[in-house]
Structure 1
């Protein structure tokens, strides 16, 4: 009998980390005021109001890992227009209006401190790189590029890295997720967005001073940002509808074979980690996750009496029926557009890397990447389940030897990625994998 998954407990260092980040924010704010320029009240209030508005209109769940907020644009522009203290103040104020009842006070404190640090870090990077403090005197395109554009690019990168490091520090202590794994995850998911933030921040600064539009530039910038937010919200709704369709299919499978629900979710989490380890793009990662979640959906077409039998009790013909579940599963989701790429992963999950698998005998790189990942993660699930049922710990070295014992079965690159993912994250069921033999 399997034990319930263990929930990771927060490190006792988490409160100290939050306190350190908060004190660091206060220290940076005081230093910025004491040694930096003091911003004019009018622009400071305007940019603070824009920061509050951008945070209020944020869309935190466009996807499970991607949100949308243009606060980073406001912070970036504040660094150039107001200086370090102004950027610090805008970050501080924008987070102070948080009224989420489920958020604990120390979470609010961390968010406020984090955003203020991000603001002042970007502003300091802008100054260090020679960013112009008096933008009214800038004339000519070359001056704009050298004294504003390039320093803002560096400031944008600094803000992105600062955000990733601070968030990863909190998450690694709270959820015991490896620090650098989460840093990379944030950079992969939000790095491209920060490029766009930098471009818009640059335009904002140009419109404000060199173009002479002043506060009116805020309106010119906010209008397209609000349009972009609307588009992201629609995109997020579409993705959530996709998730509901997948969840409905998994629920249907669970009514026939309840254990398959947990297997599907474990497989999806591990497959997603492996896809990230391989450096796949967001679309491919989504395809892998969908394919892993629905890799047993074909069991809906298999008689229940066969699913309940032990594998060794099945006849050859009965085994053949079960083995066809991958083909039946691919047919069941045919016509669902967003699952089209996942269909091939489901159909070919039992192919062998040497071409001796089923149903089509394809080999090597011709096997879809999702199917190659599924083949390995399904085997890991079998090995881990067997070890847990025997009341012992599934050692990582043991899993590795089992995966590598049949050279022609799995893609060696996928095997290596799976072992790295297991070493970093552990098995998603909560069963710890050891490093011994």
Structure 2
């Protein structure tokens, strides 16, 4: 393990211990009658943590943060923070992990809890057990403080360990879940009020709801992951037939994501473009293309005519999957040219689906930046010149102008950029451009 990571973990542990001491010095009072339920919730969080579900690779999803935050708003005290630390420690001891990982997880949980506690108290929040009224400012601040400290602490550890940008690491892992974080604000208050209004039955009922939601989310996520892996396996099978396009669809997907982000599409729209880009060539698995794909020399006019059927075959295959109906037009028309000279339907201009126009850029860029038997891969300057040359004929001139005018055009040539990261600026730009659509996204 890197020295920087070890030093960072020690700093988190020291900071969490200091935060616990500071919370005691801030208000050393203690009331067992108010502490009992937060202490119980810390153990509820413990059981939630040890039953966490694997969602991807070595990443686990758990709902323990909701009981922790509920405990804080019910009784914002140093004793509650101590109970959170004990719950987190028990959860870590119950799992087969190294000591340094356990220390980090406990430390960052306590530190996030301290951030929530101080945010709540300093902004005037009082124990919900003594005042049932919703206190929006301290409540929202507490939840967001906990989530931000928690996620940034983890992102920093990953960034240091892997030598990656901490901001990009955080964005990749958390931007897509911002909506769920907003729901957590209400969930924490609902959980707390369930106890205040109905006592322990309220806690048991709400825990039951959380367990159901957890298993529902786990099942949905696993199904989505399985479907994604099956699609990628299918795409790899197709590409085995063509020795010169191995990894082509994955690269086109990456380029398409970057282009879609740069012209201001929303995360949902980017994901649609991404799926279409991944599947744009699956029709090549059809037997009529096999001998042509394996041919080493130039194609005859007859063979080229057959190859021009592959967008139709791809769209037909994609159309057989009910969840992918929205991307069928994007797949079918990814070889249409802006001036109407493309195929298969000779659409032109804005008749061509926006996703298809984006994939046209990505597909062509991949062809230009890949070594072929008859030429070496082109560099960024040559690719830029080719895009300018064919803007308005092959390519949408509005997208071309937006892409080439962006300072982040070079992202396409950075092999470490997987196209998944949305910066805060990109999120704001996407919102702004959806309100005032530019020609590039029309």
- TM-score over 0.5 for the pair: yes
Q: CA 1:12–1:65 in 2, change beyond 3 Å: closer, same or farther?
A: closer
Matches within 5 A, 1:13-412: 13-37=4-28, 38=30, 40=32, 42-61=36-55, 68-83=61-76, 85=78, 86-87=80-81, 89-90=83-84, 93-94=87-88, 96-98=90-92, 101=96, 104-133=98-127, 135-138=128-131, 144-145=133-134, 148-209=135-196, 211=197, 213-257=198-242, 260-276=245-261, 280-281=265-266, 283-301=268-286, 302-309=288-295, 313-386=298-371, 395-408=379-392, 409-410=395-396, 411-412=399-400
Which has the higher mean CA deviation after the structures are superposed, 355-364 or 124-133?
355-364
SS of the residue aligned with 1:13?
A: helix
Deviation of 1:100 after TM superposition, in Å, equals 5.3
Question: CA–CA distance in 2 between the matches of 1:122 and 1:240?
Answer: 33
Query: What is the root-mean-square deviation in Å for CA atoms of aligned residues?
Result: 3.5
Q: CA 1:424–1:390 in 2, change beyond 3 Å: closer, same or farther?
A: closer
Question: CA–CA distance in 1 between the matches of 2:406 and 2:345?
Answer: 25
Deviations 1:66-91 (A, max 9, x none): 97532221222122123253246415
Q: CA 1:184–1:245 in 2, change beyond 3 Å: closer, same or farther?
A: closer
Question: CA–CA distance in 1 between the matches of 2:104 and 2:371?
Answer: 43
CA contact (8 A) 1:29 1:88 kept: yes
For structure 2, the 5+ residue unaligned runs are 419-442
Question: CA–CA distance in 1 between the matches of 2:291 and 2:68?
Answer: 61
CA contact (8 A) 1:373 1:414 kept: no
Deviations 1:238-295 (A, max 9, x none): 3134224313422431443355452223333443444455554554344333222222
Q: CA 1:361–1:176 in 2, change beyond 3 Å: closer, same or farther?
A: farther
Deviation of 1:336 after TM superposition, in Å, equals 0.9
Question: CA–CA distance in 1 between the matches of 2:98 and 2:381?
Answer: 41
Deviation of 1:175 after TM superposition, in Å, equals 3.1
Question: CA–CA distance in 1 between the matches of 2:412 and 2:364?
Answer: 19
Residue correspondences, number: 408
Q: CA 1:22–1:348 in 2, change beyond 3 Å: closer, same or farther?
A: farther
Question: CA–CA distance in 1 between the matches of 2:153 and 2:412?
Answer: 20
Q: CA 1:225–1:350 in 2, change beyond 3 Å: closer, same or farther?
A: same
Q: CA 1:105–1:359 in 2, change beyond 3 Å: closer, same or farther?
A: farther
Question: CA–CA distance in 2 between the matches of 1:174 and 1:272?
Answer: 26
For structure 1, the 5+ residue unaligned runs are 1-9, 431-437
Which has the higher mean CA deviation after the structures are superposed, 20-29 or 169-178?
169-178
Question: CA–CA distance in 1 between the matches of 2:401 and 2:19?
Answer: 46
Instruction: With the length of structure 1 as denominator, give the TM-score of the two structures.
Output: 0.80
Instruction: With the length of structure 2 as denominator, give the TM-score of the two structures.
Output: 0.79
Q: CA 1:72–1:372 in 2, change beyond 3 Å: closer, same or farther?
A: farther
